[in-house]
Amino acid sequence: MLKWRLISAAILVPLVIFGVLRMSTQAFAVILGVILVAASWEWSRLVPLTGFPARILYCAAITGLLALTWLGGPAELVIYLLVAAGCWWLFALYWLTHPGQCATASSPCIALKLLAGIMVSVPPWTALVVLHRLGEDGPLLTLLLLVMIWCADSGAYFAGHRWGRHKLAPLISPGKTREGVYGGLLVSLLVAGIAAWLYSQSPAWTLSFILVSLPAVLFSVVGDLLESLMKRQSGIKDSGSIIPGHGGIFDRIDSLVAAAPVFLAGFLWLKL
């Protein structure tokens, strides 16, 4: 699978870099919305929603919420959505420490997971659109966030395979280790520090950027574990199979949807 992972990455990464840097924010918002709606289709399978019409209706609801957010103004709504996202990911932390909860397909559990699908779609979309629109450097900052998450995922993958000994969450994802998390965190923060220094040449700005990046990378692990919990409870190995070696779309963005609101919140709070 490593071979296919590398081949897929070699094709997709340049496309993503070009799109983030060269597209207008409006085009970026549309493409990102399409990706998240496709990921919502995969999420509906994990809930699980049974029946094609129910899954289509759910994706239509996500599309409608994204459209309403755009019409209402992402910049005007972003603070409310960041607060909602913060509350959600704190609850997700609690859920991850009690992985046996909502393991059945009861109506309350399905309702919770449908709500979770909204929280992993609308706030991250809004955060990334607002970040992309932050002046002429917005696209570059958006790309830096993506690169950090990629480095965290890759660093965790290789560090876990090389040095992994202690399980991170054996009841949720037996393959993930604490050593992998440490490796991913180290690599991503190293990249963040180098990129921030090249961008600003200011020690204070570089340090602030690393401080913003740290919680974002840590919550990216929470996003990864949340999807792992959803897959384990539904008995599904991958959210999809559209990307060779990587699984589904949500398998590739599970870390980003948690990291993006946290990163933007820290960025705005420190007024970088």
Please state, in angstroms and rounded to a whole number, the distance separating the CA atoms of residues 36 and 32: 6
List Cα–Cα distances, 76 to 73, 81, 172, 214, 240, in angstroms. 5, 10, 37, 26, 34
Instruction: Find out whether 140 and 22 touch, Cβ atoms under 8 Å.
Output: no
**pLDDT tens per residue across span 163-181:** 999 999 999 999 999 999 9
How many other C-beta atoms are found inside a 10 Å radius of the C-beta of residue 54? 14
The one-letter code for the residue type at 240 is G
Give pLDDT, residue 9: 72
Percentage above 90 pLDDT, the chain: 82
Kindly tell me if the per-residue pLDDT of 152 is higher than 80: yes
How many other C-beta atoms are found inside a 10 Å radius of the C-beta of residue 108? 9
**pLDDT tens per residue across span 227-249:** 999 999 998 887 766 655 456 89
Lowest mean pLDDT among 130-139, 230-239, 251-260: 230-239
Please tell me the pTM assigned to this model. 0.94
The one-letter code for the residue type at 196 is A
Cα atoms in the 13 Å half-sphere on the side-chain side of 105: 11
Strand runs (DSSP E) across the chain, as ranges? 167-169, 173-177
Give the sign of the dihedral formed by CA 134, CA 142, CA 117, CA 265.
Answer: negative
List Cα–Cα distances, 245 to 19, 34, 220, in angstroms. 22, 22, 20
Instruction: Find out whether 30 and 67 touch, Cβ atoms under 8 Å.
Output: no
| Enclosing H/E stretch for 101 | none
Write out the two tokens for 199. Answer: 């961008």
Cα-flanking dihedrals φ and ψ of residue 238, to 5°?
Answer: -125, 150
Please state, in angstroms and rounded to a whole number, the distance separating the CA atoms of residues 101 and 95: 7
Kindly tell me if the per-residue pLDDT of 2 is higher than 80: no
Mean residue pLDDT across the chain:
92
